[in-house]
């Protein structure tokens, strides 16, 4: 059952009615929304040999629940999208999205939080802007869960214990499903005694990735710092080591031949191979927040699952984002992402993986309507947005390169029915 079928909506509406009286909400709102998107895409499947050009229309209905008190915060969002292709109607799909986060402060020292999400989508570019990967004509069901506890050991030291679980299911027998579990212990220490607005960070985590015939165990330890300068600039950096243990099921010839209806064939036997390796991981970020201009740059390298493939990859990412407010209503944005997804054969996956992706996306937005101070959606009730996205996708194993140009116009509107 899709999470956005009537039971899900019923839960959101019921919570909207009951929670304000139960929790004594300081800030509460229920926000239905509608979003209409039209895009011209000159390479829908992002392939080099067959560039499929189409006009895609997407209509998205949403319902957001937001509540906040002195000790309790809840965000919940449900969306249902219908995607219609003008020419290749076989790609028409209905996508679901549901997510929720909750946080409760038990006392000044201890806070608990949890988050969960579910999505179903068949769009080929569903991960193109976040991982650099393409899922061609595949419907993917994805669920995630996150639980976290934050405890102040002292006035200057915060300890956090986190658990993450995720599962990706593909409606395609040729793509392996993925399950992962991660446990993280983190410490943050105030270093203002030595440097104002500085903090030291130490993380230790373990992740297990499980796919059909593949299991990867990854151990990491990183240390770093964060630093704020003049309330506008902030810097964060961390680096460390990982140890990765991988096992793969492979098939090897036995030297025994048998007669089949198709001729003589050699029998094969299943064998498990294991590898162990070390590597470096890290992340660096710098951001600027001004009165009319914001910008951020992030570079990272880590082990991550490669959706739609048979394993995991060492992913290197470079992300640049900037926005400028030209007036109270008019905003400009520019986003750039460069992704390197790489794995040698029998390293993190049974077969070699080597993809590089570049995305460039300028956009402009005109906002109008009532302004809101919080929530999961835009701070304004309505906006119109136009954007252009250029993508270069290179498969170095197959030695192919694909290019995509996407022009998009979007209209969004929401209105509070309870607040």
Question: What pLDDT score was predicted for residue 2?
Answer: 42
Residue 1 lies in a domain: no
Residue 370 lies in a domain: yes
366 or 4: which leads in pLDDT:
366
Give residue for tokens 């992740």: 207
Question: What pLDDT score was predicted for residue 383?
Answer: 94
Question: What pLDDT score was predicted for residue 70?
Answer: 87
Task: Tell me the per-residue pLDDT of 217-242, one tens digit each, with 9 for 90 and over.
Answer: 999 999 999 999 888 999 999 999 99
Judged by DSSP in three states, 10 sits in helix
Q: With CA atoms as reference, report the closest residue to 311 among 289, 282, 342.
A: 342
CA distances for 241 relative to 87, 128, 247, 360, angstroms: 50, 27, 20, 31
Judged by DSSP in three states, 12 sits in helix
265's tokens: 């064939």
Question: Residue 333 is inside which H or E element, if any?
Answer: strand 330-343
In angstroms, rounded to a whole number, what is the distance separating the alpha carbons of residues 181 and 160?
17
Q: With CA atoms as reference, report the closest residue to 80 among 16, 34, 127, 148.
A: 34
Contacts of 159-163 with C-beta under 8 Å, sequence gap 24+, read: 159/185, 159/186, 159/187, 160/184, 160/185, 160/186, 160/187, 160/188, 161/185, 161/186, 162/186
Q: With CA atoms as reference, report the closest residue to 275 among 299, 316, 244.
A: 244
Question: What pLDDT score was predicted for residue 23?
Answer: 46
Number of folded domains that form the chain: 1
- Is a pLDDT exceeding 70 seen at residue 303? yes
CA distances for 2 relative to 6, 99, 119, angstroms: 9, 13, 9
Among the ranges 165-169, 284-288, 391-395, which has the highest mean pLDDT value? 284-288
Question: What pLDDT score was predicted for residue 273?
Answer: 76
In angstroms, rounded to a whole number, what is the distance separating the alpha carbons of residues 199 and 406?
41
In angstroms, rounded to a whole number, what is the distance separating the alpha carbons of residues 391 and 360?
7
Question: What pLDDT score was predicted for residue 246?
Answer: 85
Which residues, 6+ apart, have CB-to-CB distance to 83 below 8 Å?
A: 56, 57, 58, 91, 92, 93, 94, 95, 122, 123
Task: Tell me the per-residue pLDDT of 103-142, one tens digit each, with 9 for 90 and over.
Answer: 999 999 999 999 999 999 888 777 777 777 777 767 889 9
Question: Residue 16 is inside which H or E element, if any?
Answer: helix 6-23
Which CATH number do you get for residue 193?
A: 2.40.160
Q: With CA atoms as reference, report the closest residue to 341 among 392, 383, 385, 394.
A: 394
Residue 196 lies in a domain: yes
Q: Output the CA angle 331-408-368, nearest 5 degrees.
A: 35
Task: Tell me the per-residue pLDDT of 134-180, one tens digit each, with 9 for 90 and over.
Answer: 777 678 899 999 999 999 999 999 999 999 999 988 887 777 888 99
Residue 419 lies in a domain: no
- Is a pLDDT exceeding 70 seen at residue 25? no
Question: What pLDDT score was predicted for residue 266?
Answer: 66
Residue 193 lies in a domain: yes
Domain that holds residue 65: 6-414
Residue 209 lies in a domain: yes
214 or 292: which leads in pLDDT:
292
Query: Does the reported pTM lie above 0.85?
Result: no
Residue 146 lies in a domain: yes
Question: Residue 149 is inside which H or E element, if any?
Answer: strand 140-152
Residue 109 lies in a domain: yes
Under the phi-then-psi rule, with left for phi > 0, alpha for psi from -120 to 50, and beta for the rest, what region is 23? alpha
| Cα Dmax for the chain | 79
Judged by DSSP in three states, 396 sits in coil
What percentage of residues in the chain have a pLDDT greater than 70? 86
Task: Tell me the per-residue pLDDT of 268-284, one tens digit each, with 9 for 90 and over.
Answer: 666 677 888 899 999 99
Report yes or no: 379 and 371 within 8 Å, Cβ to Cβ: yes
Phi, psi of 206 (to 5 degrees): -135, 135
């Amino acid at each position: 059952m899709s999470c956005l079928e009537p039971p899900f909506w019923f839960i959101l509406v019921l919570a909207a009615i009951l929670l304000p009286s139960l929790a004594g909400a300081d800030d509460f709102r229920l926000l239905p929304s509608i979003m209409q998107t039209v895009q011209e895409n000159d390479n829908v499947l992002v392939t080099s040999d067959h560039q499929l050009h189409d006009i895609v229309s997407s209509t998205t209905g949403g319902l957001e629940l937001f509540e906040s008190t002195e000790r309790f915060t809840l965000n919940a969002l449900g969306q249902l999208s219908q995607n219609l292709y003008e020419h290749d109607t076989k790609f028409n799909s209905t996508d679901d999205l549901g997510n929720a986060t909750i946080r409760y402060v038990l006392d000044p020292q201890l806070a608990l939080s949890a988050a969960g999400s579910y999505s179903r989508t068949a769009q080929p570019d569903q991960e193109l802007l976040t991982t650099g990967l393409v899922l061609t004509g595949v419907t993917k069901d994805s669920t995630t869960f996150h639980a976290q506890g934050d405890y102040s050991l002292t006035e200057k030291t915060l300890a956090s214990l986190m658990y993450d679980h995720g599962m990706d299911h593909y409606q395609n027998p040729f793509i392996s499903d993925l399950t992962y579990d991660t446990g993280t212990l983190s410490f943050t220490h105030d270093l203002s005694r030595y440097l104002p607005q500085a903090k030291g960070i130490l993380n230790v985590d373990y992740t297990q990735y499980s796919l059909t015939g593949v299991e990867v165990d990854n151990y990491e330890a990183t240390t770093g710092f964060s630093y704020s300068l003049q309330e506008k600039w902030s810097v964060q950096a961390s680096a460390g080591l990982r140890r990765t243990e991988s096992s793969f099921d492979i098939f090897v010839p036995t030297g025994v031949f048998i007669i089949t209806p198709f001729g003589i064939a050699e029998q094969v036997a299943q064998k498990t191979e294991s590898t162990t390796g070390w590597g470096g991981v890290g992340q660096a970020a710098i951001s600027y927040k001004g009165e009319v201009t914001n910008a951020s740059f992030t570079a990272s390298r880590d082990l991550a699952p490669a959706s739609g493939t048979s394993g995991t990859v060492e992913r290197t990412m470079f992300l640049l984002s900037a926005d400028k407010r030209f007036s109270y209503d008019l905003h400009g944005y520019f986003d750039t992402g460069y992704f390197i997804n790489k794995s040698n054969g029998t390293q993190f996956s049974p077969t070699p993986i080597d993809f590089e992706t570049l995305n460039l996306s300028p956009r402009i937005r005109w906002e109008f309507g009532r302004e809101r101070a919080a929530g999961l959606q835009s701070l304004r009730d309505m906006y119109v947005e136009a954007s252009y996205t250029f993508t270069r996708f290179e498969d170095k194993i197959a030695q192919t390169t694909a290019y995509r140009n996407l022009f998009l116009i979007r209209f969004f509107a929401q209105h509070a029915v309870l607040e």
